[in-house]
Amino acid sequence: MRERVNREDSNFEAKLDELRQRFAGVKKSAESETAVNVNKQDLKDGFVTFWSDNSDITQLISRSAGYIVSIMDCGETVRIRMARKGFRSCYHAFKLSK
């Protein structure tokens, strides 16, 4: 079952709350994945895509809910489409080394 919810839908905030609670504390198993998909066409279209099946979903919603454009709930995994202006860059995901 895939449920798609866009920011302009009346149940958008309720869906964010449901996902925040459902994935809070979900541990990362050996098979767990989180991915950020960034490609030039999506950036031109104004968004980046985030996929996850663990508590990273809760973290992203808590930190950046204002930039979430749409959600696709696939049950065990969730796709979150974020506005480009809420995305820094891929290399900001890594700490500086000394």
d(CA 86, CA 79): 16
Q: Higher pLDDT residue, 90 or 51?
A: 51
pLDDT digits (tens, 9 = 90+) for 72-95: 999 999 999 999 999 888 777 778
97: confidence class by pLDDT, cuts 50, 70, 90: confident
For residue 40, the Cα-to-chain-centroid distance in whole angstroms is 18
Nearest C-alpha neighbor of 47 from the set 25, 24, 64, 29: 64
